Chain A
Amino acid sequence: MIARLLAHRANALWLAALVHRLSGLALAIFLPLHFYTLGLAIEGEASLEGFLRWSDRPLVKVSEALLVFVLAVHLLGGVRLLVLENFSWLDGQKRLAVLAAAAAAIVAFAFLARVF
C-alpha cells in the first residue's frame, strides 16, 4: 500500500522539493529561538556567554551541524529553483538537485570537523 502511494513519487526532484519544504519549515521554527538567544546580549555579555558555554556540548554541536546542513540545502535548492524559473530550461535537474544536497552535506561535515 505504502509502495503504491510512493510509486509515482520515486523521483529525485519530488524528494528535493520535500527536502526544500522541510528544511524551510525547520528554519522557520529555529529562527525565533535563534533571535531570542542573541537577544540575551541585551542583558549583557554574561548571558550570551552562558549560552555559548552551554552550546559547547557535543550533542548541541551535532545539532548545529544539522542546522548548517538545513540552511545550506535550503539555499542551494532555492538557487536551483531561481535559476530554473528565471533562465532558459536546463536539462539534468535531477543531477543538479543531488549536487545541491551533496554540497550542503559537505559544508555541514566541514562545520562538524572544525568543531571537534
Chain B
Amino acid sequence: MTQTLQVSLWRGGAEGRYQVYEVPLRENQTVLDVVTWVQRNADATLSYRFACRVGMCGSCAMTVNGRPRWTCRTHVSKVAKGGRLAIGPLENLPVIKDLATDMAPFFEKWQQANGAFAPSKSRAEPIERISPDSDDRRAVNAAIECINCGVCYAACDTVRWDPDYLGPAALNRAWTLVNDERDAGNTARLAAVAADGGCHACHSHQSCQEHCPLALNPTASIAGLKRRTTAAYLRGEIKL
C-alpha cells in the first residue's frame, strides 16, 4: 500500500477555495512533481506554470505552506509536515487561475524603477574595460544573478501593504545599473527610485533575502540606493 500525501491546492482566481487531493508519496519527490501528478492523474483542469524544472528559470514559484519557493527545488520530505501540503499561487500578484499568477505588475515595476540598461557608447567606440575587482563591479556581481522569479516580491510585506512600492527585485536591478560604469541613465534612475514607493519605502524586514533561492540580498542593494539617492538629492542632482 503506497503512502499518500494530502495536498490542498488553490483552485479559482481571486475568489476560490483550497481543494484537497490525495497524491502518492514517493521517496524522491519535489513539490512540482506533486502538482504535475495532480494535473496529469487527478484533475486535468488544474492550471500551473513551470519550464526548466531544474532550478534555473524561476517559473515554478508558488506559495508552499505559506512560504514562496521554487517548487522544482523544494523536496516534499522537507516541507510536508505529517503528510500534508498546502500549495497556492504567489502572493502579492493577481491570480489568473489556480497556481498561475499575472506577473505583469512585477515587470511594470521593473520598468518604473528604470531597471533597463541605458547605453552610453555606440558600436563604433572601443569596448569599455570593466575590472571585475573594482568596488562597483563587485557590487553589481553580488546582485546581478536575479532571474525575476518573483519570490522576493511575494515574500515582501511592504509590497503587500504599499501598492506603490516598486519591490525588492526591481530595486535590486536598479542598484546593479547604478553601479554599472557603462550606464548613462543614472540621473533618471535615481529620481525614479527616490520617489514615493521607491527605495525609501523599504523597512528592511529582509524577507526578500530570507526567501531568495539565489541568496541575493535586495535589502543591501536597497540600502545602497538609499545612500545614493540621498546624496544625489542633497547635491540637487535629482528633484522629487
Q: Mark B29-61, 1 if CB is under 8 A from A, else 0.
A: 000000000000000000000000000000000
Chain B residues whose C-beta falls within 8 Å of the C-beta of A89 in the assembled complex: 217, 220, 223
Q: Mark A7-22, 1 if CB is under 8 A from B, else 0.
A: 1110101100100000
- Of residues 100 through 159 on chain B, the ones whose CB sits less than 8 Å from some CB of chain A are 155, 157
Return 28 A-B CB contacts under 8 Å, by A number.
Answer: A4-B65, A4-B66, A4-B86, A5-B66, A8-B66, A8-B67, A8-B211, A9-B157, A9-B207, A11-B205, A13-B204, A13-B205, A13-B206, A13-B210, A14-B157, A14-B206, A14-B207, A17-B203, A17-B204, A81-B204, A84-B204, A84-B219, A84-B223, A85-B226, A89-B217, A89-B223, A93-B204, A93-B206
The number of residues on chain B lying at the interface, defined by a beta carbon within 8 Å of a beta carbon of chain A, is 20
Tell me if A3 and B204 are in contact (CB < 8 A).
Answer: no
Q: Mark B47-85, 1 if CB is under 8 A from A, else 0.
A: 000000000000000000111100000000000000000
Q: Beyond A4-B66, A13-B207, list 18 extra A-B contacts (CB 8 Å).
A: A4-B65, A7-B65, A7-B66, A7-B67, A8-B67, A8-B155, A8-B211, A9-B157, A11-B205, A13-B204, A13-B206, A14-B207, A17-B203, A84-B204, A85-B204, A85-B226, A86-B227, A89-B223
- Of residues 72 through 116 on chain A, the ones whose CB sits less than 8 Å from some CB of chain B are 81, 84-86, 89, 93
Chain A residues whose C-beta falls within 8 Å of the C-beta of B65 in the assembled complex: 4, 7
Chain A residues whose C-beta falls within 8 Å of the C-beta of B67 in the assembled complex: 7-8
Chain B residues whose C-beta falls within 8 Å of the C-beta of A3 in the assembled complex: 66
Q: Mark B187-214, 1 if CB is under 8 A from A, else 0.
A: 0000000000000000111110011000
Interface of A is mostly: helix
Query: Shortest Cβ distance from B44 into chain A, in angstroms?
Result: 27
Determine the distance from Cα of A81 to Cα of B86 in the docked complex, in whole angstroms: 35
Chain A residues whose C-beta falls within 8 Å of the C-beta of B205 in the assembled complex: 11, 13-14, 17
The contact size tier of chain A is 10 to 19
Chain B residues whose C-beta falls within 8 Å of the C-beta of A11 in the assembled complex: 205-207, 210
Determine the distance from Cα of A4 to Cα of B93 in the docked complex, in whole angstroms: 18
Determine the distance from Cα of A7 to Cα of B204 in the docked complex, in whole angstroms: 18
Chain B residues whose C-beta falls within 8 Å of the C-beta of A31 in the assembled complex: none
Determine the distance from Cα of A6 to Cα of B204 in the docked complex, in whole angstroms: 18
Determine the distance from Cα of A14 to Cα of B156 in the docked complex, in whole angstroms: 10
Query: Shortest Cβ distance from A101 into chain B, in angstroms?
Result: 15
- Of residues 26 through 73 on chain A, the ones whose CB sits less than 8 Å from some CB of chain B are none
Chain B residues whose C-beta falls within 8 Å of the C-beta of A93 in the assembled complex: 204, 206
Tell me if B227 and A85 are in contact (CB < 8 A).
Answer: yes
Residue of A nearest to B211 (CB): A8
Query: Shortest Cβ distance from B213 into chain A, in angstroms?
Result: 14
Chain A residues whose C-beta falls within 8 Å of the C-beta of B207 in the assembled complex: 8-9, 11, 13-14
Chain B residues whose C-beta falls within 8 Å of the C-beta of A6 in the assembled complex: 66
Residue of A nearest to B217 (CB): A89
